[in-house]
């Protein structure tokens, strides 16, 4: 079998890998992207038509500088690709004043001086007839929040990567990769060929437990469900001009989230539960959404959203790949200087996609980045893995 070579190979061109391929190729690197499935497919973690983006980040104020950069890069990606990637419909974080969704978002907003508004229950009901908060519940409104379209984003990055000279091979799963001794780069094997390169970026999403087994990061893959409902009384009040994205926290700490009704096949308003998935692997995930699951979700949204569930339209599964502290893993591989890793996006990675691409290109080409990524060091699990 012939061996071909590149400067950088990207293993997995889903959300993060397509961003890395784009940034690497734009900087002049000879890039080879190897992907198990087709372009912008529905088997991993980057599908379903919409992803929330926001900046007043309750997961931690340390993420804010990355979110500000991601915002700029999404705008640039929209301009360069000519595709509509983002819908800036605003965002509401709802719950008790001391809930993580509200208090955490407020803390990040205040720490970074991000524009936001606090609304009480009466004001929420007045502005958004689609929402029925209980007395005492409040919301943080962020006008710059909204949604991004995952399949469009991945497609835009793949197109721009290819236009900058990247070679992208689909339906060609990597069966093995190895770092060559003495810092001589990497060798990557697929059923169709063997490839060498100076550097390898491994961004395998839910396949990370297998592709990055030696990394020592305890990862859990979870089955998640997205549901689409057609609101009673029509989608008018659910149009993106009137309805922001929302994350709504219950007193038990669980969160539901949802989107305005978007165009596209089936339309409808999408809702889902944040976290609380069932453990699976990409091989064992149950892709069927069962009637009991749909009933449970319908009951939950019905208690909060007066015009939902309405009519059930469809549902789809997706996977989270979660670390114990729910922070990402982005770094040079601790044991192989010629390998950079990106995994464990823990159900909240998509809004960061273009900035992760920029960081991966920095790490692959220079070994370092100016972005603050200390939080994502895989070494933080060294004791847990022992
Ligand atoms: C239901 C759901 C809702 C979400 N909502 C949000 C949200 O609102 N906001 C947000 O910011 N984030 C959200 N996320 C999280 C976000 O979508 C993920 O963090 C992100 O998509 C992960 O990207 P990735 O590149 O790691 O994985 P993927 O996009 O799945 O890419 C990994 C790629 O690697 C490929 N691959 C794997 N093994 C191999 C191999 N051996 N050879 C070649 N290729 C291989 C896969 O086929 C895949 O294409 C959500 C996720 C889900 C599932």
Instruction: Encode pLDDT of 46-78 as tens digits.
Output: 999 999 999 999 999 999 999 999 999 999 999
Question: DSSP strand E in the chain: where?
Answer: 3-11, 31-34, 51-53, 86-87, 91-95, 117-120, 138-142, 146-148, 167-169, 174-179, 186-190, 194-202, 220-230, 245-249, 255-261, 269-274, 278-279, 311-322, 329-332, 339-343
Q: How high is the pLDDT of residue 182?
A: 87
Q: Smallest Cα–Cα separation from 261: which of 324, 318, 223, 308?
A: 308
DSSP of 225-281: EEEEEE-TT-SGGGSTTT--EEEEE-TTS-EEEEEEE--STT--EEEEEES--EE--
Q: How high is the pLDDT of residue 386?
A: 42
- pLDDT tens profile 97-143: 999 999 999 999 999 999 999 999 999 999 999 999 999 999 999 99
Ligand 1: residue whose CA is nearest its atom 45 = 12
Once rounded to an integer, what is the mean pLDDT over residues 206-222?
97
- Asked if residue 209 lies in contact with residue 281, where contact means CB atoms within 8 angstroms, the answer is yes
- pLDDT tens profile 325-367: 999 999 999 999 999 999 999 999 999 999 999 999 999 999 9
For residue 158 and ligand 1, the question of a CB distance below 6 A is answered with: no
Q: How high is the pLDDT of residue 264?
A: 63
Other residues' Cβ atoms within 10 Å of the Cβ of residue 218 = 13
Q: How high is the pLDDT of residue 275?
A: 80
With bands split at pLDDT 50, 70 and 90, how would you rate the model's confidence at 384?
low
Which residue of 38, 51, 74, 272 sits with most ligand 1 atoms within 8 Å of its CB, as the best mutation to test the pocket?
51
- pLDDT tens profile 232-251: 998 999 999 999 999 999 99
Q: How high is the pLDDT of residue 382?
A: 87
Once rounded to an integer, what is the mean pLDDT over residues 16-39?
98
With a cut of 90, say whether residue 4 has pLDDT above it. Answer: no
Q: Provide the β-strand partners of residue 222.
A: 279, 320
With a cut of 90, say whether residue 161 has pLDDT above it. Answer: yes
What is the CA(149)–ligand 1 centre distance, in A?
13
Q: How high is the pLDDT of residue 266?
A: 60
With a cut of 50, say whether residue 88 has pLDDT above it. Answer: yes
Atom of ligand 1 nearest to the CA of 224: 1
With a cut of 50, say whether residue 255 has pLDDT above it. Answer: yes
For residue 116 and ligand 1, the question of a CB distance below 6 A is answered with: no
> How confident is the prediction for the chain on average, in pLDDT?
96
For residue 322 and ligand 1, the question of a CB distance below 6 A is answered with: no
Tokens describing residue 340? 């950079």
- Put simply, whether the predicted model's pTM sits higher than 0.85 gets the answer yes
With a cut of 70, say whether residue 2 has pLDDT above it. Answer: no
With a cut of 50, say whether residue 385 has pLDDT above it. Answer: no
Collect all residues with Cβ–Cβ distance below 8 Å to 302 and sequence separation of at least 6: 308, 309
């Amino acid at each position: 079998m012939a061996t071909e070579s590149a400067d950088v190979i990207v293993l997995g061109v889903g959300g993060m890998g397509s961003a890395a391929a784009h940034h690497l190729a734009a900087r002049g690197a000879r890039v080879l992207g190897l992907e198990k499935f087709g372009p912008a497919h529905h088997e991993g973690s980057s599908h379903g038509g919409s992803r929330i983006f926001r900046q007043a980040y309750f997961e931690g104020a340390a993420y804010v500088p990355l979110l500000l950069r991601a915002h700029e890069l999404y705008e640039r990606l929209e301009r360069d690709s000519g595709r509509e990637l983002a819908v800036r419909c605003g965002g509401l974080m709802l719950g008790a004043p001391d809930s993580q969704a509200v208090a955490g978002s407020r803390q990040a907003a205040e720490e970074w001086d991000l524009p936001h508004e606090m609304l009480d229950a009466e004001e929420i009901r007045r502005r958004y007839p689609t929402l029925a908060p209980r007395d005492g519940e409040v919301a943080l409104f962020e006008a710059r929040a909204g949604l991004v379209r995952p399949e469009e984003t991945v497609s835009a990055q793949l197109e721009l990567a290819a236009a900058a000279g990247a070679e992208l091979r689909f339906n060609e799963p990597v069966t093995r990769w190895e770092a060559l001794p003495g810092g001589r780069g990497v060798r990557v094997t697929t059923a169709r060929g063997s490839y060498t390169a100076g550097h390898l970026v491994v961004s395998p999403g839910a396949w990370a437990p297998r592709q990055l087994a030696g990394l020592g990061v305890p990862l859990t893959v979870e089955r998640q469900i997205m549901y689409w409902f057609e609101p009673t009384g029509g989608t008018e009040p659910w149009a993106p001009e009137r309805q922001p994205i929302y994350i709504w926290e219950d007193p038990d700490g669980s969160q539901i989230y949802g989107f305005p009704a978007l165009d596209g096949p089936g339309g409808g308003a999408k809702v889902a539960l944040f976290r609380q998935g069932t453990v699976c692997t990409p091989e064992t995930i149950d892709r069927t959404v069962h009637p009991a699951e749909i009933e449970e979700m319908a009951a939950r949204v019905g208690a909060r959203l007066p015009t939902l569930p309405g009519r059930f339209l469809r549902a789809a599964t997706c996977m989270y790949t979660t670390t114990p502290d729910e922070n990402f893993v982005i770094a040079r591989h601790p044991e192989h200087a010629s390998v950079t890793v990106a995994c464990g996006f823990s159900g909240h990675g998509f809004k960061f996609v273009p900035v992760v691409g920029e960081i991966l290109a920095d790490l692959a080409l220079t070994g370092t980045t100016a972005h603050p990524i200390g939080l994502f060091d895989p070494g933080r699990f060294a004791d847990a893995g022992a």
